Structure 1
Amino acid sequence: MSVWRNLGERTVYENRWATVNMADVELPDGRHLDHTVIRLRPVAVATVVNEADEALLLWRHRFITDAWGYELPSGGTGEGEDPATAAAREFEEETGWRPGPMRLLLAVDPMPGISTSHHRVYWSDTAEQVREIPEDHFESQRREWVPLARVPEMIARAEIRSANAVAALLMLHQQRCVRA
């Protein structure tokens, strides 16, 4: 089996959110190359699907890509924090809705060739609105209940661009289709 081997890393930048390292990688043929590695803490992601098969999404602008799109509430998991608890916390802070019991939907590594950004996506089928304006209202321009039936066309039109949202919403859409 041919594998790339990480022979060691040196840190080139670090803050509380990310560490950027340069790795000395040995390729299967023996050659070496410097490879950038971005180490991030785990991400907890959440959504709620209501009785009408609608998912609560955020509409927001991302300055890095200069693009608008629908996303799922998400954030970093604190040291030793249960990812399901982190997902529920982020959901409430960003939407103003407190989700019911969270269930793991999927785990995804959006960019495994360069980053350790491990995302765990949770969902619930119940939620209670606990505030009209979310605690983190600045995170999105609006919050919207979107029918799962619209998800494939929204992805095709690049209205949903975030990898964790695309994967999770397609999975929830597929489950809805199987149920129907």
Structure 2
Amino acid sequence: MKKFEEKTLTSETIYQGKIIDLQIDEVELPNGKTSKRELIKHPGAVAVIALTPEGRIVMVEQYRKALEKSIVEIPAGKLEPGEEPVKTAARELEEETGYGCENLRHLISFYTSPGFADELVHLYIAENITRIEDARGPDEDEFVDLIEVTVEEALNLIKEKKIYDAKTAYAVQYLQLQQFYK
């Protein structure tokens, strides 16, 4: 048995959606008692740090209904069934920004909210980006504005709470540290 493991006694899927599923598990706790866990099942996602030749970070601003406001983010999107994360990263970069790249290098993967969700985000850095002439646009239900900012401008967007999500804040900190250690 793994340390602090919670043994699943029953599991019931109560909602299956386009992006997430919700299930309720009854678990046996390490002390022998039982409890319920509300769990979000997610197919996983990617996020891409893309820098222009001038060193500006390519980002998108989009409305997030869960927050009831627009925020600024790095390009990102969910994995499609059977799709490799690096392919998803290339597709999302093109769809959301109109950019392609020579190479996508995996930096790290991390869980977004492990207390209730299994979403795993794979973070990539796009190397040698270039504009794609006939790029695929965003999904039909996705509306984004492309912006390009310096690391310093991104830090200000964090202070202003315009960058307000973990993946983008992580990306900005990564770039800030890269500058610091040069």
Tell me the TM-score normalised to structure 1 length: 0.89
Which whole-Å CA distance do the structure 2 matches of 1:141 and 1:118 have between them?
A: 23
The amino acid that maps onto 2:181 is V
Which whole-Å CA distance do the structure 2 matches of 1:132 and 1:72 have between them?
A: 21
1:144 to 130, 143, 147: 147
Partner of residue 59, structure 1: 61
Give the C-alpha shift of residue 66 in structure 1. 0.7
Contact 1:108 1:164 in 2 (8 A): no
Give the C-alpha shift of residue 103 in structure 1. 0.5
State the Cα deviation string for residues 50-95 of structure 1 (Å, max 9, x = none). 3332110001111221122111221121222211111011110111
Partner of residue 43, structure 1: 45
The amino acid that maps onto 2:55 is D
1:127 aligns with 2:122: no
SS at match of 2:181: helix
Structure 2, unpaired ranges of 5+: none
Which whole-Å CA distance do the structure 1 matches of 2:79 and 2:5 have between them?
A: 30
SS at match of 1:104: strand
2:158 to 155, 170, 173: 155
Contact 2:94 2:135 in 1 (8 A): no
The amino acid that maps onto 1:82 is E
The amino acid that maps onto 2:94 is E
After superposition, residues 12-91 of structure 1 pair within 5 angstroms as: 12-91=14-93
Which whole-Å CA distance do the structure 2 matches of 1:110 and 1:162 have between them?
A: 10
Structure 1, unpaired ranges of 5+: none
Q: How many residues align?
A: 179
Tell me the TM-score normalised to structure 2 length: 0.88
Contact 2:53 2:129 in 1 (8 A): no
Distance 1:144 1:42, change over 3 A: same
Contact 1:105 1:168 in 2 (8 A): no
Root-mean-square deviation (CA, aligned residues, Å) is 2.0
Distance 1:40 1:121, change over 3 A: same
The amino acid that maps onto 1:157 is E
Give the C-alpha shift of residue 29 in structure 1. 2.2
Which whole-Å CA distance do the structure 2 matches of 1:51 and 1:165 have between them?
A: 20
Partner of residue 101, structure 1: 103
